[in-house]
C-alpha cells in the first residue's frame, strides 16, 4: 500500500450474469447477525470508479485491498467518483464498528483495529462468494445501501483445536484461524500438549520433542471396539519455535489472540515419557498410543515445578497473550495416593487430600505466572480443593463449574460438552464419520445460552464468553476437522456475538445456506445437513402417526413406507403418515426431480407401549436427554454404534425407575431393552433390571428380576420373560453399576447408564 494510503481500486467483478439493464442486489445474509441493520433505498455500484482511503488503519487497509485484489482488483488513480473509507471513531467501544453503504461511498468506522477488522469481515460477506477464489467475471457488483451498527455480546469468543492427538501443519492452522476471524471470534485456544504427543519445541528440554512428540503406533477404530487394534506406525510431529512465532504473528494480523494450553498436572504422559523423573515412580514409560485418561501425572516435586517454570518461560516468550491455559482436567490421583513423597507433602502443607494437592499444584503455577504478568485459565477441575485466587475457569462438565466460580467472583468461560464439543456426532445418520460419541446437532449449538440461569445480574458479569472445542482423537486429517467444526462454529459464533433478541434458528439456517456457497468456493469440507429429513413419532392417544420435516420449507419431501429408496415418483409428504404396524420409512428432500441431501431411513418397531405415558423418578442427565422420556416408548431403537443420539437416555450415578401407563388393562408376557456399554467413556451396563406390575399405579407386585452379567460387548440386551400377566402399569427399575473400579478410565467416579427403547410385548 502506498504511503499516502489513497489507492484507487478497479473491481472487475461480475455478478450472476447481469446485463447492462439489469441490477441484482443481493440482500445481506450475514453470520453472525449484526446488532442493528437498517436497509435503505438504493445501492452502491462497485466498479472501476471506486477508491480506498485508509489513512488511520494502514494494515487493515492492506488486508481489505488484498481481499478484493484476489477478486481481480487493480489500482487506479484518485480521480474516481466513489470511495471506500476506513475511519477512526473514538466514540465506539473496543470491538464495535459501523458500516454505512450509500450510493457514493462506503464507510467502515471503529475506534480500534479490532473493530475495523470486524467491519471488513462483514463487508466481505456482502460480496459474492467468487471473491474467495478470484473467479468473478468482469462487471459490477451492486451492494445494498444500509447502515450497520454492531458490537459483540461477549468479550471472549473462542475456538479450540487439539493438536496432541493428531497433528496438523502450519497452513492448516492458518486456515482455522482465518475462519475464526471471518466469524468475528477473537481467540484461538491451541491445545499443544497431551498424553499422545508434545507438540511445541522447548529448547531447554529437547527430549520433549525428540521423544515426547512421537508415539509408536495409533489406535485403529473406536476406543469402544474390543479388543483394541493398532496400526503399528510411528506417528508424530511438533511445531518449532519459529513456526509458533509465524502462527502467532499471523493470528495477530487478524486480531486473533492465541492462548496456548500446556496441560498439567494430568494429560502429561508424553512429557513423562521424555523425562521419567517428572512422574512419581521414575519408571520409563511410552508416549500413549490410545485415547483416554492415564494414571501417569506430574509429581509435585521441586524439580517438577522447576521444569514447568522453564517450559512456561519459553512459552511466554512465544505467546504474548495475557492468559496461559494450564489444563487441570482429568488428573487421576492414584500415583499421588501411592507416593510416600506426596502423602508427606499433603501433611506438610496441611492439605485435606489429593484434591487439595492438585489445588496446591495449580496455585504454585498460577503464582509463578502471575509474577510474570500473566494469568491462568483452567478447566473446571481446578475448582477441586480450592480455586487459585486469580484463575479463570473454563467450564466443560456442564455449567456447574462456571456457576460456582462466578459466584466466587471469578471470570468464567462456558464450554460445556452439551453444546460446545464439536467432536460429538452432529447428525443421527449411520453414514456419519466416526466420532468420539455424544450428539450435538446444529440447532442445539445455536440454542445455547452462555449465561447460566443460576446467576443473578451481578454474577452474570463474570461470564466472559464461550468457546467451541475440537478434540481430535477421531480426526486424523484437517478435512475431518473441517467437517466436524463447520457449520457448528457458525452457530456458536452467533451465540457469542449476536444479541439474543436478534437470533432465530430458521433465519440462521436460511443465511447459512448462502454462507455454504462461500465455503464451497473456499474448498472447505463442511457438514451439510440443511437438506436432511427429520422424523418424529408424536405421542398420539388414538392413532400413531409419523411426522417428517426439513429445515428449508421451500423444498419437497418424498417418501416410501416399504423400505425402498424414494424417487421423483414417490408421494410428496403433506401430512403425518399413519403407522399401524412395524414399518421402514424412507424419505429425502427433492427440488423438482433432483434429490438434495442423503436419504432418511427409520425403522419403527411397534409394541404395546408405543406412545404411552411414561414417568421417571429421576430425569436423565441434561446432556443425554435429547429425545426426552418418550424416547423410551417411541418405537425407535437407538444407534447400534453410538450412545449420543436422540434415542439413548443417559443417567449419571442414578438408578433408573420408569413407570409406563398402558392406558388400560393389557396382557403382556415380555419386556426387553438394551444398555450401552463403553467402559472407556465411563459407560457401564447396570447390575440388574426388574419389572413389576400394577392395576392402579400405586401397588406394584409380581416383580420379575433379571441379573445382568458383565460383558465386553458395546450393546447389552436384557429381556424379562414371564407368564402372561394382565396389567395397566409397568414399573421398570434398573440398578446402576456404581463406582468405576481402579485401573479403569474414570476410576472412582460414578458410571453412566444408557438405556434404549423399552419394548413391551
Please, what is the Cα angle at 705 between 702 and 709, to 5 degrees? Answer: 170
- Cβ-contact 173, 144 below 8 angstroms: no
Instruction: Determine the pLDDT at residue 38.
Output: 97
Rounded to whole angstroms, what are the CA distances from 111 to 56, 101, 108, 757, 758?
10, 19, 11, 57, 60
Residue 480 lies in a domain: yes
- Cβ-contact 298, 272 below 8 angstroms: yes
| Residues contacting residue 300 through CB under 8 Å, at least 6 positions apart | 265, 336, 342, 345, 357, 360, 361, 364
Task: At 629, list the grid cell.
Answer: 422420556
Is 479 found in the same domain as 579?
no
Total domains in the chain come to 4
Instruction: Determine the pLDDT at residue 536.
Output: 85
Residue 528 lies in a domain: no
Q: Please state, in angstroms and rounded to a whole number, the distance separating the CA atoms of residues 264 and 194.
A: 9
Is 165 found in the same domain as 136?
no
Residues 583-598: tens digit of each pLDDT: 999 999 998 889 988 8
- Cβ-contact 760, 710 below 8 angstroms: no
Q: Please state, in angstroms and rounded to a whole number, the distance separating the CA atoms of residues 212 and 205.
A: 10
Is 586 found in the same domain as 466?
no
- Cβ-contact 36, 148 below 8 angstroms: yes
Last residue of a domain, one of 150, 180, 196: 150
Residue 527 lies in a domain: no
Residue 160 lies in a domain: yes
Collapsing DSSP to helix, strand or coil, 394 comes out as strand
Residue 286 lies in a domain: yes
Residue in 92, 86, 90 with CA at minimum distance from that of residue 64: 86
Q: Please state, in angstroms and rounded to a whole number, the distance separating the CA atoms of residues 754 and 673.
A: 11
- Helix ranges (H only) for 339-486 are 340-348, 354-371, 400-407, 417-420, 442-446, 457-460, 478-485
Q: How many CB atoms sit inside 10 A of residue 171's CB?
A: 10
Is 129 found in the same domain as 240?
no
Instruction: Determine the pLDDT at residue 539.
Output: 67
Question: How does strand 6-10 pair with strand 50-53?
Answer: antiparallel
Is 503 found in the same domain as 416?
yes
* Domain boundaries, position 681: 613-760
Instruction: Determine the pLDDT at residue 20.
Output: 47
Task: At 380, list the grid cell.
Answer: 473446571
Residue in 336, 387, 344, 327 with CA at minimum distance from that of residue 363: 387
Residue 737 lies in a domain: yes
- Cβ-contact 363, 323 below 8 angstroms: no
CA dihedral 621, 397, 445, 623 (to 10 degrees): -10
Instruction: Determine the pLDDT at residue 460.
Output: 98
Is 618 found in the same domain as 552?
no
Contacts 24+ apart (CB under 8 A), 384-390: 384/355, 384/358, 384/359, 385/351, 385/352, 385/353, 385/355, 385/356, 385/357, 385/358, 385/359, 385/360, 386/356, 386/359, 387/359, 388/359, 388/362, 388/363, 389/363, 390/366
Last residue of a domain, one of 585, 604, 623: 604
Last residue of a domain, one of 522, 546, 579: 522
Q: What is the CATH number of the domain that holds 627?
A: 2.60.120.260
- Give me the phi and psi of 175, to 5 degrees please: -65, -40
Rounded to whole angstroms, what are the CA distances from 656 to 561, 615, 620, 683, 686?
35, 11, 9, 15, 10
Q: How many CB atoms sit inside 10 A of residue 358's CB?
A: 25
Strand partners, 467: 158
Instruction: Determine the pLDDT at residue 528.
Output: 92
Residue 1 lies in a domain: no
Rounded to whole angstroms, what are the CA distances from 654 to 620, 719, 747?
9, 21, 17
Q: DSSP assignment, residue 54?
A: -
Q: Please tell me whether the overall predicted TM-score, pTM, comes out greater than 0.95 for this model.
A: no
Is 462 found in the same domain as 542?
no
Instruction: Determine the pLDDT at residue 257.
Output: 98
- Cβ-contact 636, 647 below 8 angstroms: yes
The residue whose grid cell reads 473456499 is 522
Instruction: Determine the pLDDT at residue 69.
Output: 64
Residues 637-650: tens digit of each pLDDT: 998 888 877 899 99
Q: What is the CATH number of the domain that holds 112?
A: 3.30.379.10
Is 411 found in the same domain as 449?
yes
Please, what is the Cα angle at 255 between 117 and 326, to 5 degrees? Answer: 150
Q: Please state, in angstroms and rounded to a whole number, the distance separating the CA atoms of residues 338 and 345.
A: 13
The residue whose grid cell reads 473514538 is 90
Question: Percent helix, strand, coil in the chain (nearest 5)?
Answer: 25, 30, 45
Beta strands, E only, 520-593:
534-536, 545-549, 556-560, 577-578, 583-591
Collapsing DSSP to helix, strand or coil, 591 comes out as strand
| Residues contacting residue 441 through CB under 8 Å, at least 6 positions apart | 426, 427, 529
Residue 529 lies in a domain: no
Helices and strands counted in the chain (H then E): 17, 38
Please, what is the Cα angle at 253 between 252 and 254, to 5 degrees? Answer: 85
Q: Please state, in angstroms and rounded to a whole number, the distance separating the CA atoms of residues 83 and 104.
A: 7
Residues of the chain with pLDDT under 70: 1-22, 67, 69-80, 138-139, 539-543
Rounded to whole angstroms, what are the CA distances from 639 to 304, 436, 582, 647, 652?
45, 14, 18, 8, 20
Is 160 found in the same domain as 144?
no
Task: At 4, list the grid cell.
Answer: 499516502
Q: Cis ω on the peptide bond leading into residue 561 (within 30° of 0)?
A: no
- Helix ranges (H only) for 160-291 are 170-182, 207-210, 241-253, 269-274
- Cβ-contact 706, 690 below 8 angstroms: yes
Is 126 found in the same domain as 163?
no
Rounded to whole angstroms, what are the CA distances from 137 to 29, 80, 356, 523?
22, 21, 65, 19
DSSP output for 312-377: HHHHHHH---SEEEEE--S---HHHHH-HHHHHHHHHTT-SSHHHHHHHHHHHHHHHHHHTT-EEE
Buried b (16+ CB within 10 A) or exposed e, 102-126: eeebbbbbbbbbbbbbbbbbbbbbb
Is 431 found in the same domain as 358?
yes
Strand partners, 578: 545
Instruction: Determine the pLDDT at residue 210.
Output: 98
Question: How does strand 463-468 pair with strand 82-88?
Answer: unpaired
- Cβ-contact 450, 399 below 8 angstroms: no
Buried b (16+ CB within 10 A) or exposed e, 334-354: bbbeebeebeebbeeeebeeb
Q: Please state, in angstroms and rounded to a whole number, the distance separating the CA atoms of residues 662 and 670.
A: 14
Is 185 found in the same domain as 137?
no
Q: Please state, in angstroms and rounded to a whole number, the distance separating the CA atoms of residues 108 and 114.
A: 12
Instruction: Determine the pLDDT at residue 4.
Output: 32
Amino acid at each position: 500500500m502506498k504511503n499516502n494510503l489513497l489507492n484507487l481500486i478497479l473491481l472487475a467483478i461480475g455478478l450472476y450474469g447481469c446485463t447492462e439493464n439489469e441490477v441484482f442486489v443481493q440482500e445481506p445474509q450475514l453470520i453472525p447477525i449484526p446488532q442493528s441493520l437498517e436497509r435503505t433505498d438504493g445501492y452502491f455500484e462497485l466498479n472501476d470508479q471506486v477508491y480506498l482511503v485508509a489513512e488511520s488503519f494502514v494494515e487493515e487497509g492492506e488486508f481489505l485491498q488484498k481481499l478484493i485484489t484476489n477478486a481481480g482488483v487493480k489500482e487506479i488513480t484518485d480521480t474516481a467518483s466513489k470511495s471506500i473509507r476506513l475511519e477512526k471513531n473514538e466514540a465506539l467501544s473496543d470491538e464495535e464498528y459501523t458500516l454505512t453503504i450509500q450510493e457514493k461511498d462506503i464507510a467502515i468506522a471503529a475506534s480500534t483495529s479490532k473493530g475495523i477488522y470486524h467491519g471488513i469481515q462483514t463487508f466481505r460477506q456482502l460480496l459474492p462468494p467468487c471473491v474467495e477464489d478470484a473467479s468473478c467475471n468482469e462487471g459490477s457488483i451492486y451492494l445494498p445501501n444500509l447502515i450497520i451498527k454492531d458490537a459483540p455480546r461477549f468479550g471472549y469468543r473462542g475456538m479450540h483445536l487439539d493438536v496432541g492427538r493428531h497433528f496438523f501443519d502450519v497452513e492448516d492452522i492458518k486456515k482455522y484461524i482465518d475462519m475464526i476471524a471471518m466469524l468475528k471470534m477473537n481467540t484461538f485456544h491451541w491445545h499443544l500438549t497431551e498424553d499422545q504427543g508434545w507438540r511445541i519445541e522447548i529448547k531447554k528440554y529437547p527430549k520433549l520433542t525428540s521423544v515426547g512428540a512421537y508415539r509408536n503406533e495409533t489406535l485403529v477404530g473406536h476406543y469402544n471396539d474390543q479388543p483394541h487394534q493398532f496400526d503399528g506406525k510411528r506417528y508424530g510431529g511438533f511445531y518449532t519455535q519459529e513456526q509458533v512465532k509465524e502462527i502467532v504473528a499471523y493470528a495477530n494480523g487478524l486480531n486473533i489472540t492465541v492462548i496456548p494450553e500446556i496441560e498439567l498436572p494430568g494429560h502429561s504422559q508424553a512429557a513423562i515419557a521424555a523425562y521419567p523423573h517428572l512422574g512419581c515412580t521414575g519408571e520409563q514409560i511410552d508416549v500413549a498410543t490410545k485415547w483416554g485418561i492415564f494414571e501417569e501425572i506430574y509429581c509435585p516435586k521441586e524439580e517438577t515445578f522447576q521444569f514447568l517454570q522453564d517450559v512456561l518461560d519459553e512459552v511466554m516468550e512465544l505467546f504474548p497473550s495475557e492468559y496461559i491455559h494450564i489444563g487441570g482436567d482429568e488428573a487421576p490421583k492414584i500415583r499421588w495416593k501411592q507416593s510416600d513423597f506426596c502423602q508427606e507433602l499433603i501433611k506438610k502443607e496441611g492439605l485435606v487430600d489429593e484434591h487439595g494437592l492438585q489445588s496446591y499444584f495449580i496455585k504454585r503455577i498460577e503464582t509463578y505466572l502471575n509474577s510474570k504478568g500473566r494469568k491462568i485459565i483452567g478447566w473446571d477441575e481446578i475448582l477441586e480443593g480450592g480455586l487459585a485466587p486469580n484463575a479463570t475457569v473454563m467450564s466443560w462438565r456442564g455449567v456447574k463449574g462456571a456457576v460456582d466460580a462466578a459466584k466466587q467472583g471469578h471470570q468464567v468461560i462456558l464450554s460445556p460438552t452439551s453444546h460446545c464439543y464439536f467432536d460429538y456426532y452432529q447428525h443421527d445418520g449411520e453414514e456419519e464419520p466416526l466420532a468420539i460419541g455424544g450428539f450435538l446437532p446444529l440447532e442445539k449449538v445455536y440454542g445455547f445460552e452462555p449465561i447460566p440461569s443460576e446467576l443473578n445480574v451481578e454474577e452474570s458479569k463474570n461470564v466472559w464468553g464461550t468457546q467451541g472445542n475440537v478434540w481430535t482423537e477421531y480426526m486424523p486429517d484437517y478435512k475431518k476437522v473441517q467437517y466436524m467444526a463447520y457449520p457448528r462454529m457458525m452457530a456458536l459464533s452467533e451465540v457469542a456475538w449476536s444479541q439474543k433478541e436478534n437470533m432465530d434458528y430458521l433465519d440462521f439456517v436460511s443465511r447459512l445456506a448462502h454462507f455454504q456457497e462461500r465455503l464451497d468456493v473456499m474448498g472447505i469440507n463442511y457438514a451439510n445437513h440443511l437438506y436432511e429429513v427429520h422424523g418424529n413419532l408424536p405421542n398420539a392417544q388414538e392413532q400413531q402417526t409419523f411426522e417428517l420435516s426439513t429445515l428449508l420449507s421451500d423444498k419437497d419431501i418424498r417418501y416410501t413406507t416399504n423400505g425402498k429408496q424414494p424417487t421423483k415418483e414417490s408421494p410428496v409428504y403433506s401430512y403425518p403418515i399413519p403407522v399401524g404396524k412395524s414399518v421402514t420409512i424412507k424419505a429425502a428432500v427433492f427440488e423438482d426431480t433432483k434429490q438434495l441431501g442423503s436419504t432418511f431411513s427409520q425403522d419403527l418397531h411397534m409394541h404395546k407401549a408405543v406412545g404411552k405415558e411414561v414417568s421417571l423418578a429421576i430425569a436423565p442427565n441434561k446432556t443425554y436427554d435429547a429425545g426426552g422420556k418418550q424416547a423410551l416408548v417411541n418405537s425407535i431403537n437407538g444407534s447400534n454404534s453410538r450412545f449420543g443420539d436422540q434415542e439413548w437416555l443417559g443417567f449419571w450415578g442414578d438408578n433408573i425407575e420408569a413407570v409406563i401407563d398402558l392406558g388400560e388393562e393389557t396382557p403382556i408376557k415380555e419386556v426387553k431393552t438394551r444398555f450401552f456399554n463403553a467402559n472407556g467413556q465411563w459407560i457401564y451396563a447396570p447390575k440388574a433390571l426388574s419389572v413389576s406390575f400394577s392395576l392402579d399405579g400405586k401397588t406394584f407386585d409380581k416383580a420379575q428380576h433379571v441379573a445382568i452379567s458383565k460383558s465386553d460387548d458395546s450393546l447389552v440386551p436384557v429381556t424379562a420373560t414371564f407368564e402372561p400377566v394382565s396389567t395397566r402399569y409397568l414399573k421398570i427399575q434398573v440398578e446402576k453399576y456404581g463406582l468405576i473400579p481402579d485401573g479403569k478410565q474414570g476410576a472412582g467416579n460414578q458410571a453412566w447408564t444408557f438405556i434404549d427403547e423399552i419394548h413391551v410385548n
